[in-house]
Amino acid sequence: MAAPREPNSRLRETIEAVGCTFEALAKDVRRVAAENGEMLQTNKSAISHWVSGARQPTGRTGQYLAEALSRRSHRTITQVEIGLAAPESVAVEPDQDPVLAATDLGRADVERRRFLAIAAFTTAGVAMPLAYDHEAAARMLRARTGTTLVGAEDVDVVRQITAAFSAADERLGGGHGLTTVTAYLADTAAPMLRARFPTDALRRAAFGAVAELAYLAGWKHHDLGQEGAAQRYYQVGYQLACEADPHGHAAWMMRALAHQALSLKQPHHCIDLAEAALADGLGHIDGQTEALLHITHARAYAATGERPHAARALLAAEDALLREDGPQPSYSRVSGPAPSPATPPAPSPTSPITSAPNSSTATPSLVGIPRSTSAFTPSRMPTSATASRHRPAPMKRSPPGPSP
């Protein structure tokens, strides 16, 4: 005989705190579900069963319950907080509310650091953007009506904090300030996205700013060698970026996921992801950002031994760099190791731009994600006469990693 489940005291206490009846909460859950295209029959008996621990919400009902409680309390309430998910099991699902996902990750980082630190990097997680339903998430996010009005200065503060901790990471490395960044993400930045915005442009800017902060948290985990946690922040950053800019910023976050996987010698899904990023980004991004997408595409091809395709991708990167079509956006600058402040040396014959990238020999400052592109400008590119454009150096084939 199965042992009886423990009552869900967290859920009971949260319901008592918001001051609503089981019947009223059940009605709220049905309303949230209907907004997301589901017709549920949730009633007060179902709520009672969840509180007593006799049953658990199924499917996406737990998300709807957390959302219903969030609306009543005028703050972010996650499934972790109401006892429907454990901090150590925090994962980013394609159909998950990205604001709640960011809050869950940040709180898990602060409260249960070890469980997130030992989270496993997965090759399946690399492909998350390929199955992500942005429209469904957008409907859920836009259905919310906050009571706080957010202004441009609030968004500017998020950007300033991101810039400050990004600079600290450049100077000190080793994930410096990670706890502060993740606490700010969970307690201030992500909840801000539930508020009202005077314009849609400011709303997009807010989602973009928080996406950059989430990416920075992921990069700090990467600095500490915690690749599973880094991957989860990159996934959340991608989801938030879709609300900010589904073309350029979202494409950049797909590149981040592919770049991480390639650095770990796990090329599965990376070609598809790089191609999806280019399909979304081309025509919407500046030349320097586009060049970095092409370089990741080239790395993905090189990692699977497809040398002609890698060479063509590198030529596309060179062509993109020769364009002068506007400033590079902040999202493609806040990442990766900083170059030396000194004037960079002239390009060598073995620059990754003039030879196809190899998973073991590519120069990180170019094939990686530079914070500044001062060493990656058209003036430093070899000319067509000296670049050996049509004869890239031969590469060793890098065997793909194990299947997930």
- Residue 156, domain member (yes or no): yes
Joined together, the tokens standing for residue 318 give: 């060179």
CB contact at 8 A, 302 and 395? yes
Total domains, the chain = 2
159 and 269 co-located in one domain: yes
- Residue 104, domain member (yes or no): no
16 and 156 co-located in one domain: no
- Residue 404, domain member (yes or no): no
- Closest by CA to 302, choosing from 399, 401, 403, 404, is 399
- Residue 323, domain member (yes or no): yes
75 and 185 co-located in one domain: no
Distance CA 107, CA 210 (A): 15
128 and 71 co-located in one domain: no
Joined together, the tokens standing for residue 147 give: 């009571």
Give the pLDDT confidence score for residue 242 in this predicted structure.
95
75 and 132 co-located in one domain: no
- Residue 199, domain member (yes or no): yes
55 and 136 co-located in one domain: no
Give the pLDDT confidence score for residue 90 in this predicted structure.
52
227 and 360 co-located in one domain: yes
229 and 368 co-located in one domain: yes
208 and 133 co-located in one domain: yes
CB contact set of 1 (below 8 Å; sequence gap of 6+) = none
Distance CA 300, CA 14 (A): 47
CB atoms under 10 Å from CB of 293, counted, come to 29
Degrees to nearest 5, angle at CA 137 with 222 and 259: 25
- Residue 98, domain member (yes or no): no
129 and 79 co-located in one domain: no
- Residue 184, domain member (yes or no): yes
33 and 167 co-located in one domain: no
Give the pLDDT confidence score for residue 382 in this predicted structure.
34
CB contact at 8 A, 353 and 382? yes
* 3-class SS string, 175-231: CCCHHHHHHHHHHHHHHHCCCECCCHHHHHHHHHHHHHHHHHHHHHHHHCCCHHHHH
Give the pLDDT confidence score for residue 404 in this predicted structure.
35
Degrees to nearest 5, angle at CA 126 with 283 and 193: 70
Give the pLDDT confidence score for residue 77 in this predicted structure.
84
- Closest by CA to 249, choosing from 279, 280, 272, 271, is 280
Give the pLDDT confidence score for residue 269 in this predicted structure.
93
Joined together, the tokens standing for residue 88 give: 């150590």
Joined together, the tokens standing for residue 79 give: 């499934």
- Residue 395, domain member (yes or no): no
Domain with 66 in it: 9-85
Task: Please list the pLDDT of the chain residue by residue as tens digits (404 residues).
Answer: 344 578 999 999 999 999 999 999 999 999 888 866 689 999 999 999 999 999 999 888 988 898 889 888 877 788 888 988 765 455 555 567 889 889 989 988 888 666 666 677 888 889 899 988 888 878 777 776 567 899 999 999 999 999 999 988 888 876 889 999 999 999 999 999 988 899 999 999 999 999 999 999 999 998 888 888 899 999 999 999 999 999 999 999 999 999 999 998 889 899 999 999 999 999 999 999 999 999 999 999 999 999 999 999 999 999 999 998 878 999 998 654 333 333 333 333 333 333 333 333 333 333 333 333 333 333 333 333 333 333 333 333 344 444 33
CB contact at 8 A, 32 and 143? yes
66 and 178 co-located in one domain: no
Angle, in degrees to the nearest 10, between helices 44-52 and 9-18:
130
